[in-house]
Amino acid sequence: MTEAATEIAVDTAIKESAIKMRGSDVSVFYGEKQALFGVNLDVRKNSVTALIGPSGCGKSTFLRCLNRMNDTIDICRVTGEITLEGENIYDPKIDVVELRARVGMVFQKPNPFPKSIYENVAYGPRIHGLTKSKAELDEIVESSLRKAAIWEEVKDRLHEPGTGLSGGQQQRLCIARAIAVSPEVILMDEPCSALDPIATAKVEELIDELRTNFTIVIVTHSMQQAARVSQRTAMFHLGKLVEEGDTDKMFTNPDTKLTQDYITGRFG
C-alpha cells in the first residue's frame, strides 16, 4: 500500500468513526401517505446537526425515526435502515427501550411530568436502574441539572412541582431529564418554539455546551438558530432531503436554489 492510499484509508476510518448515526434510504409512510422519500443522512459524533425546511417537509418525522418514537403511532411504517454505531436500530433484536435510553429526546413543548423537579430528573435513572443508592441518584440529579444550566435556579426548590417553573426553565428541566440517563444522542424537536427570546438564548447556549458530551440533532424553524448552534445542516422539502453539508457552507454558498431561497426567506 502506498503512503497516499494509507492516508486515504485512515481518513475514511476517521470519518467513519466520526459518524454516530446513519440513515440509508429511509422512507416513512403514515397509512397510505408517504411522508419521507429515501432519505440518506449521516449524523456526526459530538456535533450539532440541524434539520431545516418548511412545515410538513418531514424533518420532525425523520427525527422521530432516530429513536423510533414513530412506533407509538399505530399507522406509521418505516423502511430503509438507520444505524446507531453501525447497528441497525430497526432490527427486531433491538430493544426499543434500550435504544431510547441511548437516543434521548426533547420535545417542542416543554412537557415536565406532574412530579417534583427532583422526581422529573430522577425518573429516567430510576426506571433504568442506573443508581444503587440515594446519594448516587442525588448526584446524577444535581449534575444533570447543572449540565442543563438550571441548577442555580432550582436548587432550593427541588421538591416543588416541575410544572410550576417558567416555560424556559421547564424546557431546560426536560433537557436535564434527558441528560440524566446519559444518552449518546439527544434529539430536539423545535425545543425553543414555545420559548421567549431570553429563554431561547439560554437554551441555545446550553445546546452548544452539550456538544462536548453528546451528539445532538435539532429540528428548527429558525434559520438564525440553525446558523448559531449547528455544525451540519440538512434541508428537507416535501419529504425529500434537498441538501446537506457544513452549516457555514450551507448558509453562505448552498448548492441548490431551493436551499438558497429558503435560507434567505424567499419561501417557506
Partner 1 sequence: MTPSAIILIVLGLAAIGYFLGRQRALKTAQRDGVKLHSLSGYHGQSVALFVAVPALFLLAAWLFLQPVLIENSISGKIPESAIPEGGAKSLVMFDVRRIADGLNQIIASGDSSEADLTDMRADVTDVRSRLAEVGVALGSDVSPVVFQAAKEYRNIDLVASYLRNIAVLVVALGFGIWALRRIQPKLRARNISETFIKALLMGSSLVAILTTVGIVGSLLFESISFFKMYPAEEFFLSTTWNPQFRGGSELGFLPLLWGTLYVSFVALALAVPLGLMIAIYLAEYAGSRLRGFAKPAIEVLAGIPTIVYGLFALMTVGPFLRDWIAQPLGIGSSSSSVMTAGLVMGIMLIPFISSLSDDIINSVPQTMRDGSYGLGATKSETIKQVILPAALPGIVGAFLLAASRAIGETMIVVMGAGASARLDLNPFEAMTTITVKIVSQLTGDTEFASPETLVAFALGLTLFVFTLSLNILALYIVRKYREQYE
- Using the rule CB under 8 A, give the single segment among 53-61, 171-179, 235-243, 257-265 that binds partner 1: 171-179
- Using the rule CB under 8 A, give the single segment among 81-89, 113-121, 218-226, 249-257 that binds partner 1: 113-121
User: Which amino acid is located at 69 in the chain?
Assistant: M
**Burial label, 7 (beta-carbon count in 10 A; 0-12, 13-18, 19+):** exposed
Counting residues that bind partner 1 (by CB under 8 A) gives 29
Of 24, 54, 56, give the one whose Cα is nearest residue 38.
Answer: 24
172 touches partner 1 by CB under 8 A: no
181 touches partner 1 by CB under 8 A: yes
Binding residue (CB under 8 A) for partner 1 from 41, 57, 84, 99: 99
* Comparison of 28 and 185: residue with beta carbon closer to partner 1: 185
CA–CA dist 110, 168 (Å, integer): 8
105 touches partner 1 by CB under 8 A: yes
178 touches partner 1 by CB under 8 A: yes
Contact 101, 124 (CB under 8 A): yes
Q: Which three cell numbers stand for residue 56?
A: 410538513
* Comparison of 35 and 63: residue with beta carbon closer to partner 1: 63
Taking the complex as a whole, the smallest distance from the CB of residue 195 to partner 1 amounts, in Å, to 15
User: Which amino acid is located at 200 in the chain?
Assistant: T
CA–CA dist 158, 146 (Å, integer): 13
Backbone angles phi, psi at 50, to 5 degrees: -100, 135
163 touches partner 1 by CB under 8 A: yes
Reduced to 3 states (helix: H, G, I; strand: E, B; else coil), residue 68 is coil
Binding mask 122-141 for partner 1 (x = CB under 8 A): -xx--xx-------------
Residue 74, CB-side half-sphere exposure with 13 Å CA sphere: 0
CA–CA dist 239, 237 (Å, integer): 6
Binding residue (CB under 8 A) for partner 1 from 1, 5, 14, 97: 97
114 touches partner 1 by CB under 8 A: yes
- Using the rule CB under 8 A, give the single segment among 68-76, 229-237, 240-248, 252-260 that binds partner 1: 68-76
Vertex 75 angle, CA 69 and 79, to 5°: 70
**By the criterion CB under 8 A, which residues form the site for partner 1?**
67, 69, 72, 74, 97-102, 104-107, 109, 111-115, 123-124, 127-128, 163, 174, 177-178, 181
